[in-house]
Structure 1
C-alpha cells in the first residue's frame, strides 16, 4: 500500500511534512486459525482485568496492606490494567473485525500509551526489587529507607520520566513525512516499523536514537534487578540459620517470577529476532504484552502469604455480610 500526494514534486520537498490520513496494520500474515488466537487474547484480557482489579481492591480495603511495598504492587496492578486496555481491545478490533486501517492521530496515541505502560511495568518491577534489596540487605534500616514518601516519590518520578520519554518519541514522529508505503509490519503502531516507513522521505536519525533510548530504558532496569539479586544472594549466605534464609528467599520468589515472565520472552525475541520467522516473532511479542498482566495477580495471590491472608479475610468478611443481609431479608 502506498500513499500518493496530490503534488508529485512534494515528495522531494524536505520542508513539507506529509501526514497520511491513515496507516495499514499488516499484523499476522497467512497464519491459519488465527480467530482462535484472538478468542484466547480476549480471555486473557478479561482475566487480566478481573485479577488486577481484585489485587487493587484488596490492597485498598485492607489496612494491613497499606505499607510502602504495596504502593508499588498497587501501581503494578494499575499499570497492568491500563497496558492491557491500551493493547488488547484495539488488537481484537483490528484483526478480528478486519479493521486494519488506523488514522494518523489514533496511531500516535496508541504508540504513546502502549509504550508508556510497557516502560512503567519495567519501572514497577525495579521499584519492587529495590524494596526486596533493602529488606534483605539492610533490614535494620528498612523502615527508614522504604517509606510511603519514598515509594510515592519513586513511582511519581517513574511516571513523569515515562510520560516525558514517550511524548518526545511521538513529537519526533510528527516531524516525519510519509510519502510512500503506509503498511506497518506489526500488530499495532509499533515505534520501529512506523518511523522506518518515513526513511525514504525524511531524516530518521533522531528517531533511531530515540528507539535505542527506549530500548535502553526498557532493559536498564533489568540490569539493576540482576545486580540487586546478586547483592541479595550474597546477603542470604551471611544468614546463619537455614530457616531464616529460606524465609527471606520466599519473600523474593513472587518478584523473581514476575521478572522472569516479563523479561525472558522480550530478551529472547530481541536477541534472536534475525533468525525467528516474522509471524513467530509477532505472536511472541503479542503474548509478551498480554500474558504478564494476567499472570502477575495470580502469582501474588498464590505466592505472597501476606496478600493471600488479606484476600481470604476480605472474602470471608464479604460472605458474612451477605449472610447477614440474607437473614434480615428473610
Structure 2
C-alpha cells in the first residue's frame, strides 16, 4: 500500500515540523490546548454576540467576521499538525489536491484577516469622525455589504493566485513546509514561474498597500478629531476601542513580517517553519482577548453569564 502511494504522482511528501520523540507529547498537548482555546473563545464570542440582542450593533457584528475567520484559520492548519506530531517524517504524505485546498485556505485566511480589520477601521472612523451620521451610514445593509466584500474580494484574488500554481506541471514531490501554501505549490514545478511571481508580488502589494495605507489614513483622521475635541470621555472611549483594534492589526502584521524576514535567511529554515505557524495561532489566540474582552459591553455580558451560573449560598441569621 505504501509503495503504491509512493509511486502515485499525486502523493506529496510533507516535511512538516521536526519534533523529537521526547518532545512529541508536550508539543501535541500544547497545540491541542491552543486549538481548543481558539475555538472556544472565538466561537463563544460569536454565539454571545448573536444571541444577545443588545450586542446587535455594527461594531460587534463586524467583529463576528474576525472570530469566524480566526476559527477557520486555526482549523486549516492545527489539526494537520496534531496528526503529524506522532507520524514519522518519512511517512508524512498529503494528496496533491488536499495540498491545493490547504494552500487556498491558508492564503484566504490571511487575506480576510486584513480586509476584516480594514472594514472594522472604517466602522471606527465613521463612529468617531461622523457620530451623528453613524446610524444612517452603518445600517444592516451596509454591514452585510462590507462583510461580503471582505470575504469575496479575497476569495477571487486567492483563487487566481493558487490557480496559477495549479496550472504548472510538477517535477518535485517534497513540500518543504509544515503545511501547504502557494509557494509550496509552485516550487514543485520546474517550469517558468514568472507569472506566479508577478501576480504574487502584485497581490501582496495591493493587499498590504491598501491595508497599511487604509489604516494609516483612517487613524490619522481619528487622531485629528480626538485632538481637536474637548470631550475627554469621548476621547477616552475612542482610544480604548482604537487601541484594541490597532493591537490586533499589529500582531497580524508582525506575524506576517517575521515570515518574510526569515525567508531571507536560508539557514534559519526551521525557525521560518515555526514562524509560519504563528500567523495561524497567535492572532486567533489573541484577538478574542485583545479586541473582544476589552469591549466593555461584551465584558459585562460575560460577567453576567458567569454570575448567573455561580451557585448562591444563603445565610440564615
Give me the TM-score of the superposition, normalised by structure 1: 0.83
Q: Separation in 2 of the partners of 1:262 and 1:27?
A: 23
Q: 1:158 aligns with which of 145, 150, 159?
A: 150
- The equivalent residue for 2:276 is 285
- 1:94-152: per-residue Cα shift (whole Å, max 9, x none)? 34323521111111111111211221111111111111111112222211222221111
Q: 1:210 aligns with which of 199, 219, 222?
A: 199
Indicate the larger mover: 211-220 or 300-309: 211-220
SS in 2 for 1:23: strand
Match status 1:67 vs 2:57: yes
Contact 1:79 1:121 survives alignment (8 Å) = yes
Q: Separation in 1 of the partners of 2:208 and 2:76?
A: 21
- The equivalent residue for 1:250 is 240
Deviation, 1:286, is: 0.7
Deviation, 1:290, is: 0.9
Match status 1:188 vs 2:179: yes
Q: 2:14 aligns with which of 17, 25, 36?
A: 25
Contact 1:44 1:290 survives alignment (8 Å) = yes
Contact 2:262 2:272 survives alignment (8 Å) = no
Q: How do 1:74-93 and structure 2 match up within 5 A?
A: 74-93=64-83
- The equivalent residue for 1:326 is none
Q: Separation in 2 of the partners of 1:308 and 1:57?
A: 14
Q: Separation in 1 of the partners of 2:206 and 2:75?
A: 22
Q: Identify the structure with bigger relative contact order (alpha carbons < 8 Å, sequence gap 6+).
A: 1
Contact 1:126 1:222 survives alignment (8 Å) = no
Q: Separation in 2 of the partners of 1:104 and 1:247?
A: 50
The structure-2 alpha-carbon separation of the partners of 1:30 and 1:51, relative to structure 1 and needing over 3 Å to count, comes to: closer
Q: Separation in 1 of the partners of 2:13 and 2:262?
A: 26
Q: Separation in 2 of the partners of 1:102 and 1:217?
A: 31
Deviation, 1:193, is: 2.9
Q: 1:178 aligns with which of 170, 183, 187?
A: 170
Q: Separation in 2 of the partners of 1:101 and 1:214?
A: 30
Deviation, 1:34, is: 4.8
SS in 1 for 2:282: helix
Q: Separation in 1 of the partners of 2:158 and 2:307?
A: 43
Q: Separation in 2 of the partners of 1:216 and 1:42?
A: 35
| Unpaired runs of at least 5, structure 1 | 1-5, 7-18, 324-330
SS in 1 for 2:293: helix
Match status 1:100 vs 2:89: no
Cα RMSD (Å): 2.4
- The equivalent residue for 2:45 is 55
Q: Separation in 2 of the partners of 1:33 and 1:129?
A: 45
| Unpaired runs of at least 5, structure 2 | 1-6, 313-317
Match status 1:121 vs 2:110: no
- 1:258-293: per-residue Cα shift (whole Å, max 9, x none)? 111111121233245314711112212211221111
Deviation, 1:174, is: 2.2
